[in-house]
Amino acid sequence: MDVSLETGIDAKLFRSVLGHFCSGITVLTACIDGKPVGMTCQSFFSVSVNPPMVAFCVGRGSSTFPVLRTADGLVINVLDAEQRHLSAGFARSGTDKWQGVQWEPGEAGGHPVLNGALAALECTIAAEVDAGDHILVLVEVRRLSARQEGTPLLYFRGEYHTASPHKPMVELAAACFLDELEELQENL
């Protein structure tokens, strides 16, 4: 049993419970000496509007983050539901993660912006914070862009999912009204 010595909480149970929180999937990318590097990251969140800052967490055992942190910047690519293969590919070690991956150099630093990503945030690292078996990385956003169409790739209970939008309340109310009107007309 993998139990935290400090809290007595079972690590497997901890991961399982936290898996109930749905998260989006990102790929962190940078160019080092002209070569692209990247890794999948699902622990990403907004921090501040002024100045514009976001953060992500990476495991201490990552072999890619020590390379990424040497770049003068990086891009956080928010994946579209159609990019599950990129999430899986960039999560692997020891393979050519970039084979067949199409990207364009970002305007803020030339780092890879993945084609088809829902959003891209071009950033510079502001601070790193020790966070147990992870590192919390605070970054300042230098440039950002987003597509208006598309569906996010999500991770929930250890599996990929996609979002399905809820109908706005006005649409629901109108549909209920039309159903009631139709029922009234049938009863006349």
Q: Give the pLDDT confidence of 86-143 residue by residue, as tens digits.
A: 999 999 887 889 999 999 999 999 999 999 999 999 999 999 999 999 999 999 999 9
Residue spans of beta strands (DSSP E) within the chain: 23-24, 26-32, 35-41, 44-48, 53-59, 74-78, 103-105, 112-114, 119-131, 134-146, 153-156, 159-162
165 has a pLDDT exceeding 80: no
Report the side by side order of strands in the sheet with 153-156. 23-24, 153-156, 159-162
The pLDDT value recorded for residue 186 is: 74
Q: What is the pLDDT of residue 12?
A: 87
The pair of structure tokens assigned to 156 is 């929930």
pLDDT of residue 48: 96
Better-scored residue on pLDDT, 180 or 48: 48
Q: What is the pLDDT of residue 169?
A: 60
Range with lowest mean pLDDT among 24-33, 44-53, 54-63, 174-183? 174-183
Q: pLDDT (tens digit, 9 = 90+) per residue, 10-37?
A: 888 888 888 888 889 999 999 999 999 9
Q: Which band of pLDDT confidence, cut at 50, 70 and 90, is reported for residue 49?
A: very high
Longest CA span, the chain: 78
pLDDT of residue 97: 93
Report yes or no: 23 and 42 within 8 Å, Cβ to Cβ: yes
Kindly list the strands in the beta sheet with 26-32, ordered across the sheet, starting from the edge strand earlier in the chain: 35-41, 26-32, 74-78, 119-131, 134-146, 53-59, 44-48
Q: In this structure, what DSSP letter does residue 152 have? A: B
pLDDT of amino acid 171: 64
**Mean pLDDT for the chain?**
89
Q: Quote the pLDDT of residue 122.
A: 98
